[in-house]
Structures are given as C-alpha cells and as structure tokens.
Amino acid sequence: MHPAPSIILFTTLSGLGFGLLTFLGLGMPGSTGFTAFVFFTIAYLLAVGGLLFSTFHLGHPERALKAFSQWRSSWLSREGICAVAALVIMAIYGIGRVFFAQHWGLIGGIGAILSLLTVFTTSMIYAQLKTVPRWHMPLTSPLFMALSITGGALLAGQVQFVIPLLILSAVIQVAYWVVGDSRLAQSGSTMESATGLGHIGKVKAFEPPHTGTNYLMREFIHVVGRKHATKLRAIALVLGFALPLIFLTLPFGHIFALLAVLCHVAGILTSRWLFFAQAEHVVGLYYGKR
C-alpha cells in the first residue's frame, strides 16, 4: 500500500491525542486551571490536527459532512461520528476542569470511552479489509489501541503506567510483525486464484494492461518499504520503545520526559509508515507483484 503522509500523520497524531484525552477524562492527571488548559490544548491540537491531516487525503473535502451518514455499515463513518462525539464531550469536561476547577467524573468517563472507541474505529477501517491480509487480523486493533494508550500515558505523564504499557505495546508490535509476515500466504489468494487459471499450470504475468503505470499500481503496489523492512523495524523498536524506557528510568527530569515523548512519536511514525508500506494488497497479484 502507498504510505500516504497524510494518513500516517493522521493515524499517529490523532491516536496520541485521543490516548491523552482518555487519560484526561479519567482524571489522570487531575490538574485544573492553567495546567489543565495546557494538557487539553495539546490533546486537541493532536486529535483535531490529525483529523485535519486526514482531510488532505480526500478528493472532495468540501463534502466531508456526508461521511457521517453511513454509520450502519461503514467503519470510516463510525470513526467520524465517534471522533466528533469524543471531542464534544471532552470539551465540556475540559471546560469544567479549566474554568470551574470541577471534575465531572461521569462526563469525563464517557469522553474517555468515546476517545478509545475512536481509536478502535480507526483500526477497524484497516482490520476490516480482506484485500490486505496483513491488516485483516485480530492483532491490528490491539496494536492501534495499545500504541494510543501508551502515547497517551506518556503525554499525560503517568509514569507508573508508561513503563508496563511500553513493554506491552512492544510485545504486541513485534507479534503484529511476526504474524503479519505470513498473512498473505495464509489468505489463499494467489495469481492462480486471481486468474482462475491454476488448473492449467503455473501463472505468470506476461504483459500488463498498459505500458505505463496507473492508479491501482501507484496506490497498492509499494516495494521500497519492504526492501528495508528489517532495519526500519529495528529503528521503530529502538525509538518507539527502548529509548523512552531508558529515559524514563533515569532520574526524573522534564528534559528526559520530553526526549522520551519525541523518541516515542518518531518510533510510532516509523512503525505506522511500515504498517502501510509493508502491507500487500491482493490486486497486485494481477500484475505479478505484491
């Protein structure tokens, strides 16, 4: 799959933002006044900024409101609805914390659940696609949720949660990679099943439909990411999990916390880039590629 920067930034940043909103909604940290204002501002910049990036991916962003209509069948529509609901509820809760020093627990709890639900709906947009076997598996949603909660805990400064969450996320991340590597083979889709010609013999792409490239090849066939996959996985693990763990076990200081956040975000961006760049779409089989 083509690793579009708009989608990578959107899923990473809004994942972090909604992760932070989850912790804020649960009153961790339960600060009020200006400190709360700073926390909520960071969360909204990430969550809303991410959503804005996602509209760059649309051909007709001016029609985006129509995307709220198909929640009965479409995970993308459900994501939009959950995101708006989470942002509105958390804004009400945030106003209480910032301006009235009130902790409206019920509203915060609902906002936290909606924030998590938003990340889940994002993950389901990918996990539902049978055409991309590497995404179509039970580990995709846990990966998105774990990364979001871990990033949220890190941003919320919940050090007691961050260390076990970093370890848990790293385990899910590695499991996602290991299991994912055999998903295309397990899917049963081959050039033989794609063409229905397997009963004659071994199928080989002889001539593509056109001498040039096309939308399908640009969107679905991406090779550069796979070439360096092992190195990029190592970079993602070191930046996303190992370095933040080291920084957080050092004597606490704001500079180390900041470094941990920056490293983690860079690692997750690498992981998310690989999430797209490594994913094989079965349509590539018609081109003898993957």
Partner 1 sequence: MTTLPASTQKKLGLVIDLDTCVGCHACVVSCKGWNTENYGAPLSDQNPYGGDPSGTFLNRVHSFEVQPDEGAAQLIHFPKSCLHCEDAPCVTVCPTGASYKRVEDGIVLVNEQDCIGCGLCAWACPYGAREMDAAEKVMKKCTLCVDRIYNENLPEEDRQPACVRTCPSGARHFGDLADETSDVSILVAERGGFDLMPEQGTKPVNKYLPPRPKDTMEEFDILAPYLEPVAKDAGGFLGWLDKALDALPGGAK
For partner 1, the closer CB: 181 or 219: 219
DSSP conformation letters of 75-137: HHHHHHHHHHHHHHHHHHHHHHHHHS----HHHHHHHHHHHHHHHHHHHHHHHT-TTSTTTSS
Contacts with partner 1: how many residues (CB under 8 A)?
60
Q: Is the dihedral of CA 142, 147, 151, 157 positive or negative?
A: positive
Between 80 and 94, CB nearer to partner 1: 80
Q: Residues 15, 50: contact at Cβ < 8 Å?
A: yes
Q: Which is nearer to partner 1, 64 or 250 (CB)?
A: 64
**Residue (of 141, 119, 148, 139) closest to 268 by Cα position:** 148
Binding flags for partner 1, 121-150, as an x/- string (CB under 8 A): ----x--xxxxx------------------
Our CB check for partner 1 shows the closer of 166 and 282 to be: 282
Residues in contact with partner 1, shown as a per-residue x/- string from 60 to 99 under the rule CB under 8 A? xx-xx-xxxxx-xxxxxx--x-------------------
User: Identity (one letter) of the amino acid at 96?
Assistant: G
Residue 212 burial (CB count, 10 A): 7
Work out which of 213, 230, 250, 252 binds partner 1, going by CB under 8 A: 213
Please give the single-letter amino acid code of residue 87. Answer: L
The piece of 92-100, 106-114, 152-160, 189-197 that touches partner 1 (CB under 8 A) is: 189-197
Helix axes 159-180, 229-237, angle to 10 degrees: 170
Joined together, the tokens standing for residue 286 give 């018609």
CB of 79 to partner 1, least distance (A): 8
Q: Which residues bind partner 1 (CB under 8 A)?
A: 1, 57-61, 63-64, 66-70, 72-77, 80, 125, 128-132, 187-189, 191, 193-197, 199-216, 219-220, 281-283, 286-287
